[in-house]
Amino acid sequence: MKELNTPVMFEDIKDLKAGDVVNISGKILTARDQAHKRIIERGKEKTPCDLEGTAIFHAGPIIEGDKTSGFKIVAIGPTTSMRMNPYEKDVIGMGAKIIIGKGGMDENVAKSLQDEGAIYLVAVGGCAALYVDSIDEITDVHWLDLGMPEAIWELNVKNFGPLIVAMDSHGNSLFDKNNRKK
């Protein structure tokens, strides 16, 4: 198992291959469809969190509390990543190096991962409680007007995983029929 610490640079992930298993420590961001759309509309300079070298988790966490009393994460699991296909190429181009989600992503995302030196990791379904235990704290939240699951949550994590490299920075994909063993 490979341990990654965010923010990452290409040198940190260049040797990872489709099928490798990793854990992440550091800061990760959650972002779903509406957050991705707003990131693209506003651009890198007007996005409230730094995307450079970040890990973006396609997840809509269940959160208790509010800004006054504080937030507590109850559950967090991956959401279907293909819904972010229209936006992900641009978000990766803004500096995100790790995308985490569920299921496959399209050829445009695969090309962008290769062009920008980034990776796509699959989170294991059914591990929501395990992933919650890896979250040390919620450090910030942005765009709550989109709703709790669609907001961007900044999370400090330790040994967040297991995560499987599904699409690497060399164009290999676990979802590519040509790479499947028969």
What residues act catalytically? 36
CA nearest neighbour of 54 among 124, 147, 140: 140
Rounded CA separation 77/128 (Å): 5
For residue 140, the Cα-to-chain-centroid distance in whole angstroms is: 16
Rounded to whole angstroms, the Cα distance separating 55 from 58 reads: 10
Q: How many CB atoms within 10 Å of residue 145?
A: 9
CA angle, 67 as apex, 63 and 71 as ends, to 5°?
Answer: 30
List Cα–Cα distances, 48 to 122, 127, 139, in angstroms: 26, 29, 13
